[in-house]
Amino acid sequence: MSSVIATRGLAKQYGRLRAVDGIDLDVRAGDVYGFLGANGSGKTTTVRMLLGLVLPTRGEIDLLGERMPRAGRRVLPRVGALIEAPAAYGHLSGRENLALLDAAGPGGARRDRRRRVADVLEQVGLGGVGRRPVKAYSLGMRQRLGLAGALLRRPELLVLDEPTNGLDPQGISEIRELLLELHRGGTTIFLSSHLLAEVEQLCSRVGVLDRGRLVLQDDLATLTAPTGATVVRTPTPERVRATLDGRVAAVDGERVVVRGGDPAEVNALLVGAGIPVTGLAPERPTLEEVVLAAAATSADRVERAL
Amino acid sequence: MIAVELRKLFRRPRTWATIAVLNALPVLVAVLLVWTDLAPRPGEGPPFLSAVLTNGALYPLAALAIVLPLFLPIAVAVVAGDSVAGEAQAGTLRYLLARPAGRTRLLVAKLVAVLAFVLVTVLVVAAVGYLVGTTLFDAQPGAATSVSGTSLTPEELAVRTVLAIGYVAVSMLGVAAFALFFSTTTDSPLGATMGALAVLVTSSLLFTLDAASPIAPYLPTRYWLAFVDLFRDPVLWRDITRGLALQAVYVGVLLAAAWANFTTKDVTS
């Protein structure tokens, strides 16, 4: 599959601080890529470098097969972006804001501008917003307007930084449906977030950033593949330990981890011994466990150097 | 891009509020003059004000001279200081650049928009001044008197007024260049505006100081009022040409610096 975002040794240094420290991102066409990392781990700096807002100290970026930031004028019209919070001119209507943004750069034809603006407003659920100025919008409406701006030119790649920020649960699920629908239509999505649940529900590939380094990059299915153990739920964990002597890896209340990847086999043994089983599943690591294992501490912590 | 910036500027209520406030002072002065009939003696007070009681057609020039030292530069510094830093503060700068608007294009468009603001403002002040002057005072378009005491034909007066408006606009372009440069160095529009005003205050202060006389010819505000020389007979070109050359140097250097800074900086706002 062709590469949509590829960076090699990408680094950004602010004075003595290495905000991003030599990362090799690899996002392929058709991916929904979850870019995870604690606050301050360098996610936003990376996103800004991809879009040519921050100039890298070292390293190379290829976006849709062309070198950034040099080819920005050709490439960026094919990319939709939501960078941190949405922003708009408060005294103008959402419609007018989108029209101005569209007119501000190449790749947005004037003759179908009105129709495209109406279409994306409809798509993000702001179709009936009328002429109200943006300063009268709620946080969720601003977020939807920001997303509309990103979708304005039917981009091949969407770069989204915390797209569900400020939305209520219904709004979050609505936006998730919209993103999945766009993805089915062939849009590659690069989703930067610190919300693990959001990434787990949406993404097919995950990259984890920890203090400027990419500590993990793989398919979500591989990362959360069964570990070869079975999780048994039972009100009598001691009897499980007695029956499956030596195969019990861990006991945590009513939850018993048994070595052996076939739940049916484990179940047959337990039922044969007359042990009540209330739950049975192959053990899979959650994304949270994978991320916590890969990334050491929260970057908010500022500890004394040793 | 330029059309986008012009639309943003002139669709903004603040732009028109600024222009309205700018016109309030000359109108107030005119009303007070008519009411009290106390004109400043020739050679005192703002230029041309002593002459308007006898000829209202000179009031556009008096109005420009009234707003030029303080109000006009403040208005220009506010608009130009806001141009880049205001977008940065509102967060719209990152979306414009990721659109991509192109950094050089954006800066040029901002400059053109500021230039349009300067021209519109100066023209509105002159037009309102003309309306006020011809309605409140005796207008004698046929018998204008130059600062030197000789009489000017209406054609001469019209040409010289247009030249004066142009000269004031060029002077304000210098202010705009300072504010635009500061605007690319900070994310705070207030900081950029204050920076430009600090330069102007410093310049005006040094101009009055004898010890600063060696650098006086290079102060940005040194030749601002030289447009009065257009109404001498014959026209005294020396200060006007020096003023134009000085502003050209300031504008050129500051715009180059603004461009160099803006095209290489990390946008983290």
pLDDT tens sequence across A10-22: 999 998 889 999 9
Beta strand A205-210 with A32-37 is parallel
Whether residues A89 and A132 fall in one domain: yes
Supply the pLDDT for residue B176: 93
Residue B48 has pLDDT above 90, yes or no: no
Question: Which chain A residues are Cβ-neighbours of B92 within 8 angstroms?
Answer: 87-89
Q: Is B43 on the interface with A (CB under 8 A)?
A: no
Angle (CA) B201-B71-B7 rounded to 5° is 115
Coil, helix or strand for A297? coil
Q: Could you tell me which residue, A286 or A49, shows the higher pLDDT?
A: A49
Residue A149's pLDDT is 93
- Give the pLDDT confidence of A28-57 residue by residue, as tens digits: 999 999 999 888 888 999 999 999 999 999
Q: Are strands A79-82 and A157-161 parallel, antiparallel or unpaired?
A: parallel
Q: Is residue A172 part of a domain?
A: yes
A297 or A180, higher pLDDT: A180
Residue B218: CB partners within 8 Å, gap ≥ 6? Answer: B246
Say if residue A151 is in the same domain as residue A273.
Answer: no
B53: tokens are 């009681």
**In terms of domains, do A159 and A237 share one?**
no
Bridge partners (DSSP) of residue A20 are A12
Which pLDDT value is given to residue A305?
Answer: 55
B211 touches chain A (CB under 8 A): no
B10 min Cα distance to partner chain A (Å): 12
Which chain B positions have a beta carbon within 8 Å of A101's beta carbon? Answer: 95-96, 99
Strands A188-193 and A157-161: parallel
pLDDT band at A168 (very low <50, low <70, confident <90, very high): confident
- In this structure, is residue A276 part of a structural domain? yes
Total domain count for chain B? 1
Q: Does a structural domain hold residue B239? A: yes
Cα separation, A1 vs B154, in Å, equals 77
DSSP label of A133: B
Q: Which of A220, A239, A255 is the last residue of a domain?
A: A220
Cβ of A105 within 8 Å of Cβ of B12? The answer is no
Neighbouring C-alpha atoms within 13 Å toward the C-beta of B245? 8
Domain assignment present for residue B269? The answer is: no
Asked whether residue A24 falls in the same domain as residue A144, the answer is yes
Q: What residues have CB less than 8 Å from A228, skipping those under 6 apart?
A: A259, A260, A261, A283
Q: Inspect the interface and report whether the beta carbons of A105 and B100 lie closer than 8 Å.
A: yes
The pair phi, psi for residue B106, each rounded to 5°, is -60, -45
Give the number of C-alpha atoms closer than 13 A to the C-alpha of residue B242, restricted to the C-beta side: 16
Q: Pull the structure tokens for residue B237.
A: 């070109």
Q: What is the pLDDT of residue A1?
A: 55
Percent of chain B whose predicted confidence (pLDDT) is above 70:
97
Number of domains in chain A: 2
pLDDT band at B61 (very low <50, low <70, confident <90, very high): confident
Check CB contact under 8 Å for A55 and B266. Answer: yes
Three-state SS for A37?
Answer: strand
pLDDT at B79 over 90: yes
> Is B16 within the bounds of a domain?
yes
Which amino acid does the sequence have at A160? L
pLDDT band at B186 (very low <50, low <70, confident <90, very high): very high
Q: Do A87 and A205 share a domain, yes or no?
A: yes
Residues A107 and A239 in one domain: no
A103/B3 touch (CB, cutoff 8 Å), yes or no: yes
| Inter-chain touch B94–A48, beta carbons under 8 Å | yes
**Whether residue A93 is found in the same domain as residue A235:** no
Q: Which residue among B7, B94, B98 sits closest to A100, beta carbon to beta carbon? A: B7
Helices B103-136 & B237-264, crossing angle to 10 degrees?
150
The residue assigned the tokens 């500061």 is B182
pLDDT band at B134 (very low <50, low <70, confident <90, very high): confident
**Partner residue opposite A89 with nearest CB, options B1, B8, B94:** B8
Closest chain B residue to A14, measured at CA: B266
B60's enclosing H/E stretch is helix B59-67
**What domain range is A134 assigned to?**
3-220
Is A103 close to B4, i.e. CB distance below 8 A? yes
What distance in Å separates the CA atoms of residue A181 and residue A177, rounded to the nearest whole number? 6
Is A295 part of a structural domain of the chain? no
Is B17 an 8 Å CB contact of chain A?
Answer: no
In a domain, B131, yes or no: yes
Which pLDDT score is estimated for A94?
A: 93
Q: Indicate whether A74 and A116 sit together in one domain.
A: yes
Residue at A304 is within a domain: no
Return all residues near A62 (Cβ < 8 A) that are at least 6 apart: A3, A5, A6, A7, A68
Question: Which residues span the domain enclosing B15?
Answer: 2-264
Give me the percent of chain A exceeding a pLDDT of 70.
Answer: 96
The verdict on residue A203 lying in a domain is yes
Pair A183, A77 in one domain:
yes
A263, A148: one domain: no
**Amino acid identity of B147?**
V
Q: Which residues of A touch B (CB under 8 A)?
A: 48, 51-55, 72-73, 76-77, 79, 81, 83-92, 100-101, 103-106, 149
Task: Copy the structure tokens of residue A270.
Answer: 């337990």
Residue A152 and residue A130: Cα distance in Å, rounded? Answer: 18
| B100 contacts A52? CB cut-off 8 A | yes
> Closest by alpha carbon to A213, among A16, A15, A12, A57?
A12
Q: What is the CATH number of the domain that holds A26?
A: 3.40.50.300
- How far from each other are the two terminal CA atoms of chain B, in whole angstroms? 21
Q: Is residue B123 part of a domain?
A: yes
Residue numbers in A near B3 (CB within 8 A): 103
Comparing CB atoms, the residue among B92, B94, B102 nearest residue A73 is: B102
Put simply, the answer to whether A89 touches B100 (Cβ < 8 Å) is no
| Residue-wise pLDDT tens digits, A213-261 | 999 899 988 988 888 888 888 888 888 888 887 888 888 888 888 888 7
| pLDDT at A93 (0 to 100) | 93
- Flag if B268 and A88 touch (Cβ within 8 Å): no
Which CATH number covers residue A272? 3.30.70
What's the whole-number mean pLDDT along residues A262-288? 87
Q: By the CB < 8 Å criterion, does B32 face chain A?
A: no
Partner-chain residue, chosen from B1, B101, B266, that has the shortest CB–CB distance to A54: B266
Q: Tell me, what's the pLDDT at B142?
A: 57
User: How many contacts (CB atoms, under 8 Å) link A and B?
Assistant: 76
Res A294: pLDDT: 83
Residue B257 counted as domain residue = yes
C-beta atoms of A103 and B92 within 8 A: no
pLDDT of A87 above 60: yes
Give the separation between CA A164 and CA A263, rounded to whole angstroms.
Answer: 37
Residue of A14, A101, A139 for testing the chain B interface, max B β-carbons within 10 Å: A101
Residue B27 falls within a domain, yes or no?
Answer: yes
Average pLDDT over residues A86-104: 93
Give the separation between CA B56 and CA B54, rounded to whole angstroms: 7
pLDDT given at position B141: 59
Does the residue A187 lie in any domain?
Answer: yes
Place of tokens 């705009």: B176
Cross-chain Cβ contact B4/A104 below 8 Å: yes
A143 & A277 share domain: no
Closest listed residue to residue A159, CA positions, set A38, A66, A54, A35? A35
Cα radius of gyration (chain B): 20
pLDDT tier at B140, thresholds 50, 70, 90: low
Q: Tens digits of per-residue pLDDT, A149-165? A: 999 989 999 999 888 87
Smallest CA-to-CA distance from A64 within A75, A53, A56, A48 is with A75
